[in-house]
């Protein structure tokens, strides 16, 4: 862990210890109260004893297993996969009838002398299964140790008796049910036999298996003949397709071309049409398109073409157009065309043969197809008859077994460990209760201290002040003891720096004086204003003693009391207040004639007559002139101003100074006031030099070690110093 993290953890622990130290009275009261209450309750309780007994649960009763009824009578099993038979039996033991029977047996009563309620009995009863076994543990708590054992034993006996009665009732109910069902099952057997006989008579069934065997052989022969004919048909189709691919014609086109090539009318017109086309081609080589000869030949060719198309249509009677080149075919092509026609005739004959064979096959197959259905119906009837007969035999056997079992004792549990009279109480556990009470008391005590600390909004320590203000810490002024308080009340001293030069307070102000010299780097610090978040934080005390500390360096210091609301400097220095700052600001007096000498190098300018509106005269040009005059005559000027959250005087004075010093006193100011003061300073853009924490002790965490441990004990550590008030 890094070193800084260890420091943070240490500081946090220190803070908690300081909180407990501050709230020691509340913490002690809570710890003592809780511990005392725990002891009182523990020692006032009566001893409670717990007796235990155990039952062994069996999956099935011995009698039912011997008679073959293990699946029907007396078996411990759940209805679902998630159910637990042991838990089910535990609920039987906790059932109201058994509990009421036990309460009545022992005449159990509550504290008011009334019969014990079932819920109250449950609070003392515990029924659970022993993990990994078929053993159930029953325990009961009571202040009477003999009664506790007797209750457990009686409850186990009552459960065993109830278990036997329930099982016997199940057997009786099963016997009555079987006797009622037996005649009905016998009638079902008779009906099944009659139905099978009627089926065979109606369908004239002798042996369906033999008939099916003969039918299969016949279908096999028909299948072979059909396959042979289909093979021949496939060969004929292949030959036709080969001839068609050579001619590049369909079967219809081949028949049409054969007819056209054998038609004299078509061939004659075709010959004339071809001759005219030849003549026309020759004429176009010598004559133009408009020449009469060319036109006549063209018209004649057109007429012959139309006549040819009409004759072709009359012969072929097909909507497809036949190319002119196909109207005349050669001898080879004509021979191939004739072969194609013959192949087509043969194909049609084979197709007809295959159709006849298939029709005969289907006709014969229809009869064979009915055989499986008849066989299925026969098997269904035989199956019903078989089930009816089997059920009848089984029910008859079970009825005989139930009549035997009814006379036996059917139990699923037995006692393996009766309850003994307990010798040692289970409660109260004195040591444990006292330890828990003490631990709880400590927790509640610490919690109370932390709660009170959280509810207390006052500033607790230096670290919290640094976190809230976010400005440098320039000094920590230790808190004065009771001796100092007495002197303050008598009015003898509020200037420990002047009167106790070897005290911790004097050293603290020397450190503050030194730290102030490092707050401004670009110029010499000569004018500061001292303020606080709220009254009574000791700003006037800090201002006066800081002035003394600076004057001890040989510098001429002027201390101005600008707190026209609650002036304190004339009381601290025991000066007159006939004329002061207010008189100078309204031109009723001069600065040099108004200041009063407190020390050789320290002058004090008191408030003077308190005006009705201090902000008006402070926020004036005359104020700036007075401060400028003071800087000419003095080396250092300290202005004591009112609190920030009370009035705006301090913000007005801040315009004329080099920086402002914040005084914070833990325990006197709350965090809300400090946050408000910080917000006011940020909005006014005031140059805050830093803060000085007043009234620091060991409880405030910072600087308390030296002050509380007597670091300065050898140098007038016992001198009295005044209490810091604002």
- Domain of 636, CATH number, reads 3.40.50.300
What predicted TM-score, i.e. pTM, was given to this entire model? 0.46
Reported as a single tens digit per residue, the pLDDT across 654-693 is 999 999 999 988 877 767 778 888 888 888 888 889 989 8
- Give the per-residue pLDDT at 457: 54
Task: Tally the domains of the chain.
Answer: 3
Residues 492 and 579 in one domain: yes
288 occurs within a structural domain: yes
Residues 441 and 480 in one domain: no
DSSP label at residue 700: G
What does the buried/exposed string (b/e) look like for 367-398 if buried means 16 or more CB atoms within 10 Å of the residue's CB?
eeeebeebeebbeebeebbeebbebbeebeeb
| Entry field: residues in the chain | 726
Residues 254 and 312 in one domain: yes
Q: Which of 360, 378, 396 is the last residue of a domain?
A: 378
Distance CA 344, CA 726 (A): 134
Name the nearest CA neighbour of 652 among 679, 615, 704, 683.
Answer: 615
Is residue 707 exposed (0-12), middle (13-18) or buried (19+ Cβ within 10 Å)? buried
204 occurs within a structural domain: no
* Beta strand pairing call for 135-142 and 49-57: antiparallel
Residue ranges in the chain modelled with pLDDT below 70: 1-12, 14-15, 18-19, 22-23, 59-83, 204-208, 211, 215, 243-267, 308-309, 312-336, 338, 340, 364, 367, 405-410, 449, 452-461, 480-493, 670, 698-726
Instruction: Give all strands of the β-sheet with 557-561 in edge-to-edge order.
Output: 473-478, 688-696, 659-664, 527-532, 636-640, 557-561, 602-605, 596-599
Distance CA 150, CA 190 (A): 61
Residues 618 and 557 in one domain: yes
Q: Which strand (E) or helix (H) includes residue 25?
A: helix 24-44
25 occurs within a structural domain: yes
Tokens, residue 607: 């408030």
- Give the per-residue pLDDT at 541: 93
Q: Which of 344, 378, 412 is the last residue of a domain?
A: 378
Cβ neighbours for 192, distance < 8 A, ≥ 6 positions apart:
381, 384, 385, 388
Distance CA 548, CA 557 (A): 8
Q: How far apart are the first and last CA of the chain?
A: 45
CB 47 within 8 A of CB 383: no
Residues 589 and 531 in one domain: yes
- Give the per-residue pLDDT at 558: 96
Could you count the other beta carbons within 10 Å of the beta carbon of residue 682? 11
Residues 581 and 624 in one domain: yes
Name the nearest CA neighbour of 581 among 543, 513, 537, 630.
Answer: 630
Domain span at residue 642 reads 462-708
Residues 518 and 434 in one domain: no
Name the nearest CA neighbour of 564 among 494, 687, 648.
Answer: 648
Three-state secondary structure call for residue 495? coil
688 occurs within a structural domain: yes
Residues 257 and 273 in one domain: yes
Strands (E), 512-667: 527-532, 557-561, 596-599, 602-605, 636-640, 659-664
447 occurs within a structural domain: yes
Could you count the other beta carbons within 10 Å of the beta carbon of residue 324? 15
Q: Which strand (E) or helix (H) includes residue 584?
A: helix 581-585
Residues 246 and 324 in one domain: yes
Reported as a single tens digit per residue, the pLDDT across 288-312 is 778 888 788 788 778 877 776 677 6
Residues 486 and 436 in one domain: no
Residues 446 and 553 in one domain: no
Distance CA 717, CA 20 (A): 28
For residue 428, whether the previous peptide bond is cis, meaning omega lies within 30 degrees of 0, is: yes
Q: Three-state SS string across 266-287, please?
A: HHHHHHHHHHHHHHHHHHHHHC
635 occurs within a structural domain: yes
Q: Which of 342, 361, 378 is the last residue of a domain?
A: 378
- Give the per-residue pLDDT at 458: 59
- Give the per-residue pLDDT at 409: 57
Residue 3 vs residues 6, 117, 360, 463, 701: alpha-carbon distances, Å: 5, 65, 107, 19, 20
Q: How many CA atoms lie within 13 A of 469 on its CB side?
A: 30
Residue in the structure block whose two tokens are 């909004």: 457
Reported as a single tens digit per residue, the pLDDT across 200-226 is 787 766 666 776 777 677 777 778 888
Q: Name the average pLDDT for the chain.
A: 77
Helix axes 430-455, 3-22, angle to 10 degrees: 100
591 occurs within a structural domain: yes
Residues 448 and 488 in one domain: no
Four-CA torsion 367, 368, 374, 375, nearest 10 degrees: 170
538 occurs within a structural domain: yes
């Amino acid at each position: 862990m890094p070193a800084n993290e260890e420091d943070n953890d240490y500081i946090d622990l220190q803070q908690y210890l300081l909180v407990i130290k501050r709230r020691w009275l509340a913490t002690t009261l809570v710890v003592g109260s809780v511990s005392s209450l725990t002891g009182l309750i523990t020692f006032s309780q009566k001893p409670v004893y717990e007796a235990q007994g155990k039952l062994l649960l069996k999956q099935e009763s011995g009698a039912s297993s011997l008679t073959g009824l293990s699946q029907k009578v007396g078996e411990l099993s759940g209805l679902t996969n998630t159910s637990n038979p042991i838990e089910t039996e535990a609920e039987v033991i906790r059932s109201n009838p058994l509990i009421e029977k036990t309460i009545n047996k022992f005449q159990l009563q509550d504290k008011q002398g009334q019969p014990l309620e079932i819920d109250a009995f449950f609070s003392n009863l515990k029924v659970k299964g022993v993990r990994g076994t078929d053993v159930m543990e029953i325990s009961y708590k009571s202040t009477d140790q003999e009664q506790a054992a007797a209750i457990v034993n009686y409850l186990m006996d009552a459960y065993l008796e109830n278990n036997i009665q329930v099982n016997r009732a199940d057997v009786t109910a099963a016997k009555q049910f079987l006797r009622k069902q037996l005649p009905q099952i016998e009638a079902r057997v008779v009906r099944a036999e009659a139905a099978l006989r009627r089926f065979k008579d109606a369908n004239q069934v002798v042996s369906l298996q033999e008939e099916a065997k003969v039918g299969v052989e016949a279908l096999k022969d028909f299948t072979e003949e059909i396959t042979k004919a289909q093979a021949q048909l496939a060969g004929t189709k292949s030959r036709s397709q080969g001839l068609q691919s050579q001619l590049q014609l369909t079967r219809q086109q081949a028949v049409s071309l054969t007819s056209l090539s054998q038609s004299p009318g078509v061939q004659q017109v075709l010959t004339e049409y071809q001759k005219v086309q030849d003549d026309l081609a020759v004429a176009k080589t010598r004559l133009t398109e408009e020449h009469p000869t060319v036109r006549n030949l063209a018209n004649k060719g057109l007429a012959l073409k139309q006549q040819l198309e009409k004759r072709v249509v009359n012969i072929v009677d097909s909507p497809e157009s036949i190319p002119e080149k196909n109207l005349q075919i050669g001898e080879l092509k004509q021979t191939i065309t004739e072969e194609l026609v013959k192949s087509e005739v043969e194909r049609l004959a084979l197709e007809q043969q295959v159709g006849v064979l298939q029709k005969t096959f289907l006709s014969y197959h229809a009869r064979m197809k009915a055989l499986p259905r008849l066989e299925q119906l026969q098997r269904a009837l035989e199956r019903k008859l078989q089930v009816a007969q089997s059920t009848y035999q089984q029910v008859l056997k079970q009825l005989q077994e139930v009549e035997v079992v009814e006379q036996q004792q059917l139990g699923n549990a037995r006692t393996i460990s009766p309850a003994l009279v307990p010798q040692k109480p289970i409660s109260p556990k004195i040591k444990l209760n006292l330890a828990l009470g003490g631990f709880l008391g400590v927790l509640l005590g610490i919690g109370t201290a932390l709660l009170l600390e959280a509810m207390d909004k006052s500033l607790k320590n230096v670290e919290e002040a640094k976190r809230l203000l976010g400005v440098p810490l320039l000094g920590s002024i230790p808190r004065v003891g009771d001796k100092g308080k007495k002197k303050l009340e008598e009015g003898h001293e509020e200037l420990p720096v002047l009167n106790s030069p070897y005290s911790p307070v004097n050293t603290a102000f020397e450190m503050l004086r030194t730290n102030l010299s490092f707050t401004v780097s670009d110029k010499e610090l000569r004018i500061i204003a001292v303020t606080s978040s709220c009254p009574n934080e000791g700003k006037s005390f800090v201002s006066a003693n800081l002035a003394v500390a600076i004057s001890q360096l040989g510098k001429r210091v002027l201390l101005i009391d600008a707190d026209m609301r609650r002036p304190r400097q004339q009381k601290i220095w025991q000066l007159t207040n006939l004329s002061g700052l207010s008189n100078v600001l309204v031109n009723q007096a001069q600065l040099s004639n108004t200041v009063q000498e407190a020390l050789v190098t320290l002058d004090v300018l008191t408030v003077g007559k308190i005006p009705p509106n201090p902000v008006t005269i402070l926020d004036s040009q005359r104020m700036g002139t007075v401060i400028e005059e003071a800087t000419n005559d003095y080396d250092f000027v300290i202005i004591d101003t009112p609190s920030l959250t009370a009035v705006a005087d301090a913000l007005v004075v801040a315009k004329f100074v080099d920086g402002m010093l914040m005084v914070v006193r833990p325990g006197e100011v709350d965090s809300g006031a400090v946050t408000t003061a910080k917000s006011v300073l940020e909005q006014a853009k005031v140059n805050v030099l830093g803060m000085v924490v007043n009234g620091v002790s060991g409880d405030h965490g910072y600087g308390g070690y030296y002050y509380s441990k007597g670091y300065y004990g050898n140098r007038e550590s016992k001198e009295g110093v005044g209490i810091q008030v604002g």
